[in-house]
Amino acid sequence: MLLSAEDLPVGNEIDCGSYEVTDGDARDFAAQWDPQYFHVDPERAGDSEFGGLIASGLHTMSIYQRLVVTAVYQRYDVIAGRAFRHVKFLRPVRAGDVLHCSATVRSVTPDGPGRCAVVVDGRLRNQHGKPVLELELDCLVRSRHRTPAH
Amino acid sequence: MLLSAEDLPVGNEIDCGSYEVTDGDARDFAAQWDPQYFHVDPERAGDSEFGGLIASGLHTMSIYQRLVVTAVYQRYDVIAGRAFRHVKFLRPVRAGDVLHCSATVRSVTPDGPGRCAVVVDGRLRNQHGKPVLELELDCLVRSRHRTPAH
């Protein structure tokens, strides 16, 4: 049974599990979607401010999404996402890092017939407990109060 | 020769080419990173508000990133991205859509020794000319005025 918008646990921080970033995964993702030198070229990255390869921000966001979808959104009666706001890449992510995900439903607001706008704060921390990603998602979730079909 | 922050073409809309979304790509991406029913389950998606599968927003952002990196950022002396702001998913993206990318450097502001904060407005339009994604990137680009190494 999927949770309707009115039943979401507003204000509770939800543990969404963790994910280990591997060198292969990080390079494969970046080679396909974000081929900047600091994601794909170890030699040039070694000479940069970061002293080595860092994971693509899109890869980091995708890891967050996989964890939050599996732990949270698959239990909610989600219609779709509308926007990310304030997506902050706070620290470099590197191969070998273990990223821990949590999410908090911040608000649920009626938004048209049968649906609510839901704002979710999400974050990833690394194995040292330091935040590496913070974001807000604005999505639509079905309401318990549906409009009649006929 | 990479462009330094001071040489970026502020205010010019840059054509970054286009990308055709295939059903296989969209489902593979979503199965790995965003397994919500409206991205991976044709039957449930068919009964939803969208009447069929739609692409993951993360996939849409990754397509944007691939196009803008290849056309633009690989020519700039980029240090790293810091944040996305106002990432808006404006219309559903579906298999068969051809997404056209453009980007505009909006501002370049000194930000610490040897570097500038650069804000880039990016967008994807579909084959009907309708916007499907808009976002702002806040990134760091090296300055022409480097601090001496010694």
pLDDT tens digit string along B52-90?
A: 999 999 999 999 999 999 999 999 999 999 999 999 999
For chain B, percent of residues with pLDDT exceeding 90: 95
Nearest to residue A115, comparing CAs of B31, B113, B49, B132? B49
Question: Has residue B148 been placed in a domain?
Answer: no
Extract the tokens encoding B69.
């990196």
Q: Distance between CA B61 and CA A5 in Å, rounded?
A: 26
Q: Is the pLDDT of residue B47 over 50?
A: yes
Contact A69 B32 (CB under 8 A): no
Long-range own/partner contacts, residues A22-29 (CB < 8 A, 24 or more apart): A22/A95, A22/A96, A23/A53, A23/A95, A23/A96, A25/A59, A26/A53, A26/A55, A26/A56, A26/A59, A26/A93, A26/A94, A26/A95, A27/A53, A29/A55, A29/A56, A29/A58, A29/A59, A29/A62
- For residue A32, list chain B residues with Cβ-Cβ distance below 8 A: 62, 66
Question: Has residue A147 been placed in a domain?
Answer: no
Q: Is the pLDDT of residue A147 over 70?
A: no
Contact B84 A84 (CB under 8 A): yes
The H-assigned helical ranges of chain A are: 23-33, 37-40, 42-46, 57-71
- b/e string for A138-147 if b means 16 or more Cβ within 10 A? bbbbbbeeee
Angstrom distances, CA of residue A117 to CA of A82, A114, B44: 9, 11, 21
pLDDT per residue over A36-79, tens digit each? 999 999 999 999 999 999 999 999 999 999 999 999 999 999 99
Tokens 């006929």, located at residue? A150
- Compute the average pLDDT of residues B130-141: 98
Residues 6 or more apart whose CB falls under 8 angstroms from that of A7 comprise A144
Q: Distance between CA A118 and CA A5 in Å, rounded?
A: 8
Per-residue pLDDT, A119: 98
Check if the beta carbon of residue A15 is closer than 8 Å to that of residue A103: no
Per-residue pLDDT, A146: 72
Domain range spanning residue A10?
Answer: 5-142
Q: What is the CATH number of the domain that holds B131?
A: 3.10.129.10
Residues 6 or more apart whose CB falls under 8 angstroms from that of A149 comprise none
For chain A, percent of residues with pLDDT exceeding 70: 97
CB nearest B88 (choices: A34, A57, A83): A83
Minimal Cα distance from A75: which residue of B?
A: B36
What is the number of structural domains in chain B? 1
As separate numbers, helices (DSSP H) first and strands (DSSP E) second, chain A gives 4, 5
Question: Has residue A110 been placed in a domain?
Answer: yes
- Compute the average pLDDT of residues A12-21: 98
Angstrom distances, CA of residue B96 to CA of B24, B31, B41: 10, 18, 17
Amino acid at B88: K
- For residue A87, list chain B residues with Cβ-Cβ distance below 8 A: 83-85, 87
Question: Has residue A149 been placed in a domain?
Answer: no
Among A26-35, A72-81, A139-148, B105-114, the minimum mean pLDDT is found in A139-148
- Compute the average pLDDT of residues B124-143: 98
For chain B, percent of residues with pLDDT exceeding 70: 97
- Compute the average pLDDT of residues A132-147: 92
The H-assigned helical ranges of chain B are: 23-33, 37-40, 42-46, 57-71
Minimal Cα distance from B19: which residue of A?
A: A33
Q: Distance between CA B77 and CA B143 in Å, rounded?
A: 8
Contact A80 B49 (CB under 8 A): yes
CB nearest B66 (choices: A34, A78, A89): A34
- For residue B82, list chain A residues with Cβ-Cβ distance below 8 A: 88-89
Minimal Cα distance from B51: which residue of A?
A: A79
Q: Calculate the average pLDDT of chain B.
A: 95
Q: Distance between CA B130 and CA B126 in Å, rounded?
A: 5
Q: Are strands A115-125 and B13-20 parallel, antiparallel or unpaired?
A: unpaired
Question: Has residue B80 been placed in a domain?
Answer: yes
Contact B73 A48 (CB under 8 A): no
Nearest to residue B115, comparing CAs of B6, B2, B1? B6
Contact B81 A57 (CB under 8 A): yes
Per-residue pLDDT, B145: 84
Contact B87 A84 (CB under 8 A): yes
Question: Has residue A148 been placed in a domain?
Answer: no
For chain A, percent of residues with pLDDT exceeding 90: 95
Check if the beta carbon of residue B91 is closer than 8 Å to that of residue B2: no
Q: Is the pLDDT of residue A113 over 50?
A: yes
Minimal Cα distance from B84: which residue of A?
A: A87
- Compute the average pLDDT of residues A24-28: 96
Per-residue pLDDT, B147: 61
pTM metric for this prediction: 0.96
Per-residue pLDDT, A145: 84
Looking at the complex, report in whole angstroms how far the Cα of residue A134 sits from the nearest Cα belonging to chain B.
9
End-to-end CA distance of chain A: 24
Per-residue pLDDT, A98: 98
Q: Are strands A98-110 and A78-89 parallel, antiparallel or unpaired?
A: unpaired
